Structure 1
Amino acid sequence: MPRFASWLGLSGLVIVLDQLSKFRILAALRPGQSVEVLPFFNLALVFNPGAAFSFLSDAGGWQRWFFVALALAVSVWLTLLIRSHAAERLLPLAAALILGGALGNVIDRIRFGAVVDFLDVHAAGWHWPAFNVADAAISLGVALLIWQQLFHAEKEKP
């Protein structure tokens, strides 16, 4: 059975993949620059000082340290959750993905004062807000948590 260190290793892998992808984008693009990859997908360098969907992006700067503190507090809770459920599969998997994504974005907030986003999906004039590997891991982790609560919560109780 996967153990605590393995789940933390997955979080570490998410952080590494997130930071490497951002390193490559920062080296290749200028802020605001966009490169079409597919008719519905661009690489576009954006610095987002807010949260998901640019929430609080125009708040004046205080949100940087608020989001860092919030993400670090949630990361402690997620680490404890992973430790207490390390022998399970779905719950620690979800928590490890969220943990890695949260810490990947914390690194950006500390380094740049904003999160580096670059994945731009669009169709028929509609644009999904730009996101990154950390955001994708967080979203997948949240989806797995919802799935676990809806369909597996009773099965995993003693």
Structure 2
Amino acid sequence: MTLKTRKYLLFVAIFAAWLAADMVTKHWADTTLANRSHPIPIAITDGEAGQPLAQVLADRLGWTVVQVGERLGDFDKLEPAVTYAATDKPYEGTGPAAQARAFYVFWRGDRELPPRRIEKNERLLVSRWLSWAFPKEDPARVQKATYELLAAEPFTDWLPRRFKKLDEDDVPELVAERLHPITGPATSPAPGELAVAGDTWLLTEHHVDVAGDWFKLVYAENPNAAFGFLKGVNPDVRYALFTLLTLLAFAVILVIVYRLPPEGWFVYAAFAGILAGAAGNFIDRLRLHYVIDFLDADLGFMHWPTFNVADISIAAGVIALLLNITFDKNSPLVSKKDKEKRAERQAKKANA
């Protein structure tokens, strides 16, 4: 086996290790950490019926009964799904869709995976924006126009607009069996309550304190690039840019690695980390339209944007390349001309 072949194998091994670490940790964050928009569902089975609910929740989450008892307010009972039609309008009339103030959507099909909470808050947001944009208009008239505009929008338009991962073809199946309305206040478990088969409880808040407020594991979704780059750009434009730039980065890195000399394992490892990080976040965007972040650092004077293992992989690879270029006089990334200049400078220092 040639030295070049061994370096390629090293590149593949490091790439696979970083990518696996990123995918595994993101899956853990997706199914363990929770917030109101991304709750963890716990469906009560027939075998669990009649048992103390706190014990069932503790067993399913790997907690103690005492921990569950201290956090009963973080659990919310999921309201039953309602069969809607794709043409139903969530803001029109007084029907079931109009009565809901928000919805939980099991958009991935699997009811063991967290649903998406979609708020019905356009009336307030649009009214506020129009009042700000047209301050001289009658507020009642602005509100009426807003209500009329939203009342005409069916689920086939409203759901994909509120959640970019969905498209019009997904809506009929979703609204028929996987859309749960939120019509009233949250219903938390009562102390001593017994589990009922068929009920689903949602854990609406869960994070892990690793080092107090300094470092936590929290669930977050990032439609932007690493550390929030391109925040505020139109979602469709941003998605197209990410796809194009990521594919271009893949091609450039692979060409560079192919042309590298056999020497310099450090550079191979650095490029493998960068490529793995880009691939991990790219996979998220393809399947979810956002990237799962969960590492949250607060330095006291600055709250660093939430990040993930892929971001660490990219950053580590870039830092490694900079160190190699700066301090390794035989770096394969330094041109022959630059190496000659370095040698001349070192010779002058030696003779001085």
TM over 0.5: yes
Q: Is the 8 A contact 1:81 1:92 kept in 2?
A: no
For each residue in 1:45-85, what CA deviation from the matched residue of structure 2 results, as whole angstroms up to 9, or x when unmatched? 11111113312222121212311221121112111222222
| Correspondence 1:132 to 2:136 | no
User: Equivalents in 2 of 1:91, 1:133: separation in Å?
Assistant: 20
> Which structure is richer in relative contact order (CA contacts within 8 A, separation 6 or more)?
1
Of 218, 224, 234 in structure 2, the residue corresponding to residue 44 of structure 1 is: 218
C-alpha deviation, 1:125, in angstroms: 5.3
Query: 2:8 aligns to what?
Result: 4
Query: 1:71 aligns to what?
Result: 246
The structure-2 alpha-carbon separation of the partners of 1:86 and 1:135, relative to structure 1 and needing over 3 Å to count, comes to: farther
What SS does structure 1 have at the residue aligned with 2:249? helix
C-alpha deviation, 1:6, in angstroms: 2.3
User: Equivalents in 1 of 2:302, 2:319: separation in Å?
Assistant: 23
Q: What TM-score do the two structures reach when normalised by structure 1?
A: 0.90
Q: For structure 2, list consecutive stretches of 5 or more residues without a partner in the other structure.
A: 37-204, 337-352
Q: Is the 8 A contact 1:86 1:92 kept in 2?
A: no
C-alpha deviation, 1:112, in angstroms: 1.2
RMSD: 1.8
For each residue in 1:14-58, what CA deviation from the matched residue of structure 2 results, as whole angstroms up to 9, or x when unmatched? 111100000000000124753322121101111111113312222
C-alpha deviation, 1:9, in angstroms: 2.2
Q: Is the 8 A contact 1:72 1:103 kept in 2?
A: no
User: Equivalents in 2 of 1:86, 1:24: separation in Å?
Assistant: 39
State the AA in 2 paired with 1:141: G
C-alpha deviation, 1:13, in angstroms: 1.5
Q: For structure 1, list consecutive stretches of 5 or more residues without a partner in the other structure.
A: none
What SS does structure 1 have at the residue aligned with 2:298? strand
Q: Is the 8 A contact 1:117 1:131 kept in 2?
A: yes
C-alpha deviation, 1:86, in angstroms: 5.9
State the AA in 2 paired with 1:41: F
C-alpha deviation, 1:136, in angstroms: 0.2
User: Equivalents in 2 of 1:97, 1:31: separation in Å?
Assistant: 30
Instruction: Return the structure number with greater helix share.
Output: 1
User: Equivalents in 2 of 1:92, 1:109: separation in Å?
Assistant: 26
Moved over 3 A (4+): 31-34
Q: Is the 8 A contact 2:325 2:331 kept in 1?
A: no
Of 142, 151, 156 in structure 1, the residue corresponding to residue 327 of structure 2 is: 151
Percent of aligned positions that are identical = 30
